[in-house]
């Protein structure tokens, strides 16, 4: 296609406002997907996305649309709405010139409507505001129009009305995309510059990279070079993204496509890298993406210690499709070799663990998550602590700082009381309270990140019956009374169960953890003491009394085969146990911690 006939756009909105459903209607209207292939939220093709009903990955797809006697090529990128995946959104935006900003007519503007809008404005995108779900009984079209005009300063006529369910307004949206979003700029004859914005591992094809061509043309068979890694490859296949990959002879400036190069190792492809030609290279790489800052850290270990290398390969492959995941090797006395991983939040952590299990068939143990702290030693050294084992001993420690965030909550006035109680209980301070309209209020709090990362979202939902939306941004580190709490089994420290925690929370957390472990540890031939400690001070304790009889005793001497079977069974069970000093700990004990709040 000629560059003036290309439009690149994404759909942004608060979660559940109908992005994926609108994408369905656009694909249907443009006959991109046949009736037979059509299903609800067709772009959410990952098993986990379908199960959870949420978009986790950005999904790019190309459509053709006839308008005014011309055929336009529209590249649509559907994006996730959850805070944990905003890095996916910001990369998608870099490939676009415009965005549909969708607002649910029954909900109005919500926290992520605003944060995603700001992301889009940062990328200078043309914004097309759309009020969705106008078919619903509770649609408040006039009120939501006012909110949108207030927020983006547009004219009332600029706002489109649609129903992604019935298809109303879809044609107007397509027209607006062609008329209002500018075509990409770029020179198809200049040296190639293509920005990689996503990639994935396919077990048959190897690494597939998705890119937006800014300048030049990428042809099948070209010798290409990845500018940042300096590596060279053959472009074995190039093409466009439809429901499946569709090969083409070339991808020209302004367009979005994929490349398959026979890359073997996942670590060679980096999101944000620029593809150019070996023979006619560009002068410089396109400015890539801002480095992601993980918010939550946890260890991931293979259940069977011998699967470490395999797990590493799988993590690298997963990282291809999840640029926000970071990891580095870590060793634990209790769990052996594994990885210290960084995540954008708890949902991200859960998704990574599930994808490792489902897509890569790895069984893993995840350890207690924590945020990143800064510790200063008495000698004035500054230490970044992403792992409880990195925290200096109390004797060397001068002070600790923890990350704070600014939380924005939009809700109905009747829930202010509950939200205040919740946030103050989470060590938060109210900074501002502001009525957007008589029935909608915005509350701003400053809170420790660690307090919102774990169960804040669920609590907020239940305290407001779902009538609160929430978004947050880091605002730096503040001094705080953070301690390292250890768990001891018969006096031996279990490093994988250590946690970094605010002193005011330690006692309760320690007690609950000891109780939980008491339930989970099998009785053994001797008494087991389970203790929670801060330094040398014990803050909680439980005992498991000794098992009195040998299990084989009841198979009186005679029946040898039965006795052997029982021993066999015990051995099987032991495989899934980890030996801590004298005590055997089942795998599930390491997971139990995650279920305590």
Residue 153 sits at φ, ψ, to 5 deg, of: 65, 40
Binding mask 90-129 for Mg ion (x = CB under 5 A): ----------------------------------------
- Report the candidate in 522, 539, 533 with the shortest Cα–Cα distance to residue 573: 522
17 makes contact, choosing from ligand GDP, Mg ion, none, with CB < 5 to 8 Å by partner type, with: ligand GDP
Write down the least CB distance from residue 37 to ligand GDP, Å: 18
Distance from C-alpha of 513 to C-alpha of 508, rounded to nearest angstrom: 9
User: With CB cut-offs between 5 and 8 Å by kind, which of ligand GDP, Mg ion, none does residue 18 bind?
Assistant: ligand GDP
Helices (H), 47-164: 47-52, 86-93, 111-122, 141-152
Of 8, 112, 132, 464, the one binding ligand GDP (CB under 6 A) is 132
Neighbours of 383 (CB within 10 A): 15
Cβ–Cβ under 8 Å, residues 252 and 222? no
What residues are designated binding site? Answer: 16-21, 132-135
CA angle 19, 20, 22 (to 5 degrees): 65
Contact criterion met (CB below 8 Å) for 397 and 482:
no
Provide the mask over 41-80, with x wherever binding to ligand GDP is found by CB under 6 A and - wherever it is not: x-------------x-------------------------
- Residue that is written with structure tokens 């999904």 in the block: 59
**433, 380 Cβ separation under 8 angstroms:** no
The site partner of 13 among Mg ion, ligand GDP, none (C-beta below 5 to 8 Å per kind) is ligand GDP
Regarding 129 and contact with ligand GDP (CB under 6 A), the answer is no
Which one of 1, 3, 28, 135 is in contact with ligand GDP (CB under 6 A)? 135
Q: One symbol per residue from 52 to 81: x for binding Mg ion (CB under 5 A), - otherwise; what is it?
A: ---x--------------------------
Kindly state the number of chain residues that form the binding site for ligand GDP, as judged by CB under 6 A.
18
Q: Does 81 bind ligand GDP (CB under 6 A)?
A: yes
Antiparallel, parallel or unpaired: β 468-480 and 382-385: unpaired
> How far is residue 203's CA from residue 366's CA, in Å, rounded to a whole number?
26
Please choose, from the candidates 266, 267, 245, the residue with its C-alpha nearest in 3D space to the C-alpha of residue 257: 245
List the interface residues with ligand GDP, window 448-467 (CB under 6 A): none
234 binding partner (options ligand GDP, Mg ion, none; Cβ < 5 to 8 Å by kind):
none
Site string for ligand GDP, 13-32 (x = CB under 6 A): x-xxxxxxx-----------
Q: How many CA atoms lie within 13 A of 163 on its CB side?
A: 12
19 is a contact residue toward Mg ion (CB under 5 A)? yes
List Cβ neighbours of 202 (8 Å cut-off, separation of 6 or more): 208
Interface of this chain with ligand GDP, residues 138 to 177, rule: CB under 6 A: 163-165
- Residue ranges of the annotated binding site for GTP are 16-21, 132-135
- Binding-site partner at residue 116 among Mg ion, ligand GDP, none, CB < 5 to 8 Å by type: none
Closer residue to ligand GDP in complex, CB, 101/224: 101
Smallest distance, ligand GDP to C-beta of residue 165, A: 3
Give the shortest CB-19-to-ligand GDP separation in angstroms.
3
E strands in 24-108: 59-67, 70-78, 98-104
User: Which residue's CB atom is positioned nearest to ligand GDP?
Assistant: 18
Phi then psi for residue 14, to 5 deg, are -70, 155
Residues 96 and 124: their CA atoms lie apart, in Å, by: 10
Give the helix ranges, DSSP H, for 237-345. Answer: 308-321
Stretch that binds Mg ion, among 18-26, 187-195, 344-352, 588-596 (CB under 5 A): 18-26
Q: Which two tokens stand for residue 412?
A: 């109905």
3-class DSSP state for residue 167? Answer: coil
Interface with Mg ion (CB under 5 A), residue from 20, 90, 113, 326: 20
Q: What angle do CA 32, 117, 326 make, to 5 degrees?
A: 80
Interface with ligand GDP includes 180 (CB under 6 A)? Answer: no
Q: What residues are paired with 400 via a beta bridge?
A: 375, 480
Instruction: Please identify, using beta-carbon distances, which residue of 77 and 263 lies nearer to ligand GDP.
Output: 77
Q: Which does 427 bind (CB under 5 to 8 A by kind): ligand GDP, Mg ion, none?
A: none
Q: Does 531 bind Mg ion (CB under 5 A)?
A: no
In the bound state with Mg ion, the residue whose beta carbon lies nearer, of 18 and 428, is 18
Q: Which residue has the tokens 């690298």?
A: 316
Footprint of Mg ion (CB under 5 A): 19-20, 55
Footprint of ligand GDP (CB under 6 A): 13, 15-21, 41, 55, 81, 132-133, 135-136, 163-165
């Amino acid at each position: 296609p000629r560059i003036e006939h290309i439009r690149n756009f994404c759909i942004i909105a608060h979660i559940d406002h109908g992005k994926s459903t609108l994408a369905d209607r656009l694909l249907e209207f443009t006959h991109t997907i046949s009736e037979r292939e059509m299903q609800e939220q067709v772009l959410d093709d990952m098993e986990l996305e379908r199960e959870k009903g949420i978009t986790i990955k950005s999904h790019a797809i190309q459509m053709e649309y006839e308008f005014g006697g011309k055929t336009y090529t529209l590249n649509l990128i559907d994006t996730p709405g959850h805070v944990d995946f905003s890095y996916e959104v910001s990369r998608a935006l870099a490939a676009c010139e415009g965005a549909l900003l969708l607002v649910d007519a029954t909900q109005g503007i919500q926290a992520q409507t605003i944060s995603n809008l700001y992301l889009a404005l940062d990328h200078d995108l043309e914004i097309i505001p759309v009020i969705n779900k106008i078919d619903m009984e509770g649609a408040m079209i006039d009120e939501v129009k006012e909110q949108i005009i207030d927020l983006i300063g547009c004219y009332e006529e600029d706002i489109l009305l649609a129903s992604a369910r019935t298809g109303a307004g879809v044609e107007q949206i397509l027209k607006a995309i062609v008329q209002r979003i500018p075509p990409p700029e770029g020179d198809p004859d200049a040296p190639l510059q293509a920005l990689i914005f996503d990639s994935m591992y396919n077990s048959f094809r190897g690494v597939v990279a998705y890119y937006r061509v800014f300048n030049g043309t990428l042809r099948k068979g070209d010798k290409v070079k990845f500018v940042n890694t300096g590596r060279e490859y053959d472009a074995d296949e190039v093409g466009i993204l439809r429901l499946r990959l569709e090969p083409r002879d070339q991808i020209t400036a302004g367009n979005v496509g994929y490349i398959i190069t026979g890359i073997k190792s996942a670590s060679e492809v980096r999101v944000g890298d620029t593809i150019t030609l070996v023979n006619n290279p560009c002068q410089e790489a396109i400015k890539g993406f801002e480095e992601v800052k993980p918010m939550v850290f946890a260890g991931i270990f293979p259940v069977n210690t011998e699967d470490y290398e395999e797990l590493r390969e799988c993590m690298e492959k997963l990282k291809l499709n999840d640029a926000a995941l970071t990891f580095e090797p870590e060793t634990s006395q209790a769990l052996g070799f594994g990885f210290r991983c960084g995540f954008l939040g708890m949902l991200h952590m859960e998704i990574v663990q599930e994808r490792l299990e489902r897509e890569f068939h790895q069984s893993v143990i995840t350890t207690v998550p924590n945020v990143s702290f800064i510790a200063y030693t008495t000698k004035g050294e500054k230490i970044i602590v992403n792992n409880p084992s990195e925290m200096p001993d109390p004797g060397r420690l001068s002070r600790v700082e923890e990350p704070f965030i600014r939380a924005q909550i939009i809700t109905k006035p009747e829930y202010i009381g509950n939200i205040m109680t919740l946030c103050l209980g989470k060590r938060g301070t109210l900074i501002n309270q502001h009525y957007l309209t008589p029935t909608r209020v915005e509350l701003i709090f400053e809170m420790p990140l660690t307090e919102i990362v774990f169960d804040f979202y669920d609590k907020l939902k239940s305290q407001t019956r779902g009538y609160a939306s929430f978004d947050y941004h880091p605002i730096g580190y503040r001094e705080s009374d953070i301690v390292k709490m250890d768990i001891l089994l018969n006096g031996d420290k279990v490093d994988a169960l250590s946690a970094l925690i605010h002193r005011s929370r330690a006692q309760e957390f320690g007690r609950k953890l000891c109780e939980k472990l008491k339930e989970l540890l099998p009785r053994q031939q001797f008494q087991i003491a389970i203790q929670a400690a801060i330094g040398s001070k014990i803050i909680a304790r439980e005992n498991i009394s000794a098992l009195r009889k040998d299990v084989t005793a009841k198979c009186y001497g005679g029946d040898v085969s039965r006795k052997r079977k029982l021993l066999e069974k015990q051995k099987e069970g032991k495989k899934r146990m980890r030996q801590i000093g004298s005590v055997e700990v089942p795998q599930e004990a390491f997971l139990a911690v995650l279920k305590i709040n």
